[in-house]
Structure 1
Amino acid sequence: MKQILGVIFILLSWNLSVFGQTKDSKPNVIIFFTDDQGYQDVGCFGSPLIKTPNLDKMAEDGIKFTDFYAASSVCSPSRAALLTGCYPPRVGVPKVFWPNLPGGLSNQELTIADMLKTKNYAAACIGKWHLGDEAQYLPTMQGFDTYYGIPFSNDMSVNPKSKVSKNIVFREGMTLDSLREKKWRGRKVPLMKQDEVIEYPVDQSTITQRYTSEAVDFIKKNKDNPFFLYVAHTMPHVPLYASENFKGKSARGMYGDAVEELDWSMGEILKTLESLGIDENTLVIFTSDNGPWNLENEQGGSALPLRGFKNETLEGGMRVPMIAQWKGKIKPGSISNEVASTIDFLPTIAYLTDAQLSEKPIDGKNIWHLLSGTKKGKSPHRKKGFYYYKESTLEAVRQGDWKLRIIDGEVALYNLKNDISESNNVADANPKLVKKLRKMMTDFDMDLKQYMH
């Protein structure tokens, strides 16, 4: 009997140590963030036509979240929330930033990169930034050692005041004089390295490949040191592009081509981690910044079975696919139906790295217990709610399975467990619940606006 108990104890101890009861003091962290990719646009989330074998394998090796949210339904606010752990209005980023206009994420905010610098992490931002294109707002002023990417959405233009590299490559007949003109040239965007434009306009057909190459090089360079890699892909935001290896290959048209190349990109990153033997010390997260555009001709993605699109606080605008993998720490094949969000990344990473949080209030919570499956715990947002902002207006709250949404005085209550498509408004049948959730919204919004950074 003692021998049997001894074996059981050993097995339990191994299970606890392997699947998250212990933590490494300096794990690597990779966040792979796509642009406007819909909830359904991954094979393991139900896409009927888009093939994503690498993301599907990542879910098999890790965990898939079915009720995961971006903190905004548009670009800049969503990115500010991910990096700071706060709802966008709290850090002064309620709207989308535009080239050559003032504004950006204050470099006085603590980003994930800032936080990890105190733990001697190398930090790289690759891809879309969209948190201000003036020098004071660029990634290298926000905790990142290196930056390579397009500083905003790929359908925008260029800041004529941009710093330009001596070795800049001009394409499509552009010159330094034309770059300096104030004329708006939609969809002609710059490629930057550090704080300089190195190509204008950038060849977007190769951008996913180039981001991937930069990411792989960064991982190889820092394989013996702790690192944070933020890969914020430009695709599948419109205009859509894919390299010759993927163009015309997907059954879902150009949108599918772009997403399938993103899947290849993730595969290259995961393959690199494995080949270097550091996949067991690296947390890898995949998700999207918001839901898909409502576009025709297969230019936009799909949020089915959710209702709504980008720029809306319906589920389709903010609920996004999320997959996480950490070999030996996250149990393979896990699925979480608990509410979690990009605002939870910063405090979770702080916990895993023993890094210090800001003294300023944040909204995110540590969700390591959900990622690791070490407890049958509930979402840390279950009691106090998860909130849906559109710009500076609070439009909805979710508590447990219930979601209250109020637009221009119109009240809608949905049970998301039974009605994922938000098609059955049951507000009239639940007046007490409506009153309770409305008060939660009022109280939270007042608190947030009292303690904005």
Structure 2
Amino acid sequence: MIFFKMGTKKIKLKKFRCNFTYLILALIPFAVLGCKTDTANDSKASKPNVVLIFLDDGAFDDFAPFGNPQYPTPNVETLAEEGRSFYNFYVPQAVCSASRAALLTGSYPGRTKVFGAHGPGEPGLDPQFATMGEVLQKNGYKTGIFGKWHLGDKPGHRSHDRGFEESSGLMYSNDMWSGHPENPEYWGKWPLQYWKNGEVVIDSVTAQHQTELTKWYTQDAVSFIEKNKDEPFFLYLPHSMPHVPVFAGEKFQGKSGTGVYGDVMMELDWSVGQVNDAIKKNGLEANTLFVFIASDNGPWLAYGDHAGITRFREGKGTIFEGGVRNPLIIKYPEEIKAGTITRKTFSSIDILPTICKLTNTPLPENEIDGKDVWDLIVDKPGAQNPHQYYPFSNDANLQGVMSSDGRWKLHLRHPYRTLSKAGVGGAPGSYYQEDLDTTLYDLLHDPYEKGNVIDSYPEKAKELLKLATQHQEKFYTE
């Protein structure tokens, strides 16, 4: 005689051989439950949460461990200790809207035709190009953006229309207001509005409101994490700072001892810590891809003490390293070894397809330019960059290309701005124009772009020039 225990009851099977069917039937609920649990776990694991923080007009040396700032940045340092730091990460254009469009669509500026910085009332990114929010939303993700959108300020083009079900922040840069230091009358034609979930909640942002921006974005981001902790989510946190005008919250004013820019950087560091802590407190760390991009482009050097410092040549608005190379940290405990650094090269256009691969999300239906670089990110032995080259543009002009391994960079002949006099106290300084001839730099040995080696490596220059010509014909010829 056999007794099979099910919960608090015993099923009596007198004739085992004749009643084997009953035993199987008794086990079915446990088998089904096990299958459901495994399926649920597999489904959740196949859709890791995604956190993407993107700063505005930062500089390569703004945060430790990348630089050695005079103010503390312990939360970014902690993130670096928990993830991997990338020193050779690039954006294809060193200006706000173009850089954001490239990140969110996985496409070159030449494809989307989003160049420069778009102002109030402009449509921005064409809806034919899917955003990261839209593609992840289709795959069952809860999506939220809290911060600066800057990819369209017309109905149907704003963040809440482009794949983000929760949103708050500004539709364009925080300097596009009546307080603009150079053109207040022009920018004052449009009120700088603060939006929340598709509605204007502050019709005209003031200086006092600007001191609250970083805090408000952060609070909404943390709330979004807590609200959606039981289902996959995509959190996009594109801060307005440290784009000028720079404003720090009350708790951080004077805290750095280095001026308002240092105060702002300390508050942004705090924000990173708040998001990282929220992920941990809600038990999400193991299944969350955390991406921190320290800037959309290099520092706006004309603003002097209200801008960051980069060790590289030039800054925002140029294709020199100071404009297009930006610090990146990626944390994903399941696959990325903590506390590591790498000089493997890739671009912001690769973030979208890589996230799609990791989250089992179909790529956009429209054609994109980025490639899955997960093998590079996790440092898989033998991994190679899948691109031939990366292009760099300024406005609607292709100005250079770089080999995909990050060593060789060819500047086409072009004018560029270089700092004449730095501004003080929020007032801009001035630039003057220089002309650069066709130039080849060996970034491995000369990351500061000081010596033209085109005569020493004519075949390499010829190879990159051919790629530049092909790119020009494909994306810049009507």
Following superposition, the deviation at residue 268 of structure 1 comes to 0.4
Letter in 2 for 1:119: N
Q: Which of the numbers 185, 189, 194 marks the counterpart of 2:192? A: 189
- Structure 1 residue 392: Cα displacement: 1.9
The range that moved more, 141-150 or 250-259, is 250-259
Describe the shift of the 1:419–1:186 C-alpha distance in structure 2 as closer, same or farther (beyond 3 A).
farther
Shift of residue 233 of structure 1?
0.2
Aligned to 2:389: 385
State the one-letter code of the partner of 2:95: V
1:447 equivalent in alignment to 2:469: no
Paired residue type of 2:65 = C
- 1:341: how far off? 1.4
Which amino acid in 1 is paired with 2:455?
D
Q: Which residue of 2 aligns with 1:358?
A: 364
Q: Is the 8 A contact 1:124 1:144 kept in 2?
A: yes
Q: Secondary structure of the equivalent of 2:237?
A: strand
Amino acid at match of 2:107: C
SS in structure 2 opposite 1:438? helix
CA contact (8 A) 1:30 1:284 kept: yes
Alignment of 1:94-113 (within 5 A): 94-100=115-121, 102-113=122-133
Q: Deviations over 1:77-104 (max 9, x none)?
A: 000001000011201212311113x331
* 1: CA distance, partners of 2:58 / 2:308: 6
* 1:266 pairs with 2:275: no
**What's the counterpart of residue 172 of structure 2?**
152
Counterpart check, 1:290 vs 2:297: yes
Percent identity for Structure 1 against Structure 2: 40
Structure 1 residue identity aligned to 2:144: A
Q: Flag structure 1 segments of 5+ consecutive residues without an equivalent.
A: 1-21, 159-171, 173-181
Q: 1:320 aligns with which of 326, 338, 355?
A: 326
2:32 counterpart residue number = none
SS in structure 2 of the partner of residue 321 of structure 1: strand
Distance 1:186 1:413, change over 3 A: farther
Pick aligned residue for 1:414 from 441, 462, 465: 441
Distance across 1 between alignment mates of 2:438 and 2:189: 38
Q: Which residue of 1 aligns with 2:348?
A: 342
User: How is 1:82-101 mapped onto 2 (pairs within 5 angstroms)?
Assistant: 82-100=103-121
Give 5+ residue unaligned stretches, structure 2: 1-42, 180-184, 415-435
| Residue matched to 2:462 | 435
SS at structure 1 position matched to 2:250: coil
**Higher mean Cα deviation, 215-224 or 427-436?**
427-436
Q: Distance in 1 between matches of 2:83 and 2:446?
A: 27
Match of 1:71 in 2: 92
Select the structure of larger CA radius of gyration: 2
3-state DSSP of counterpart to 1:269: helix
Corresponding letter in the other structure for 2:472: D
State the distance in 1 between where 2:379 and 2:456 align. 36
- Equivalent runs, 1:6-17 vs 2, <5 Å: none
> Residues 413 and 434 of structure 1 are in contact (CA less than 8 Å); yes or no, is this contact kept in structure 2?
yes
The answer to whether the Cα contact below 8 Å between 1:313 and 1:395 also exists between their aligned partners in 2 is yes
Match of 1:317, SS state, is helix
* Residue 4 of structure 1: aligned partner: none
If asked which structure has higher relative contact order (CA below 8 Å, sep 6+), I would say 1
Distance in 2 (CA, whole Å) between partners of 1:361 and 1:188 is 36
Displacement of 1:449 in angstroms is 4.4
Residues 195-229 of structure 1 deviation map (CA, whole Å, 9 limit, x = unaligned): 32211225010110111000000000000010001
Amino acid at match of 1:122: K
Q: Which runs of 4+ in 1 moved over 6 A?
A: none
Q: Partners in 1 of 2:334 and 2:67 — Cα distance?
A: 27
Q: What's the TM-score, normalizing by structure 2?
A: 0.81
Residues in 2 aligned to 1:313 and 1:49: alpha-carbon distance in whole angstroms: 27
Counterparts of residues 212-291 of structure 1 (less than 5 Å): 212-287=218-293, 288-291=295-298
Q: Distance in 2 between matches of 1:85 and 1:210?
A: 28
Shift of 1:296: 4.7
Provide the rounded CA distance (Å) in 1 between the counterparts of 2:385 and 2:148. 30
- Which amino acid counterpart does residue 94 of structure 2 have in structure 1? S
2:67 maps to 1:61: no
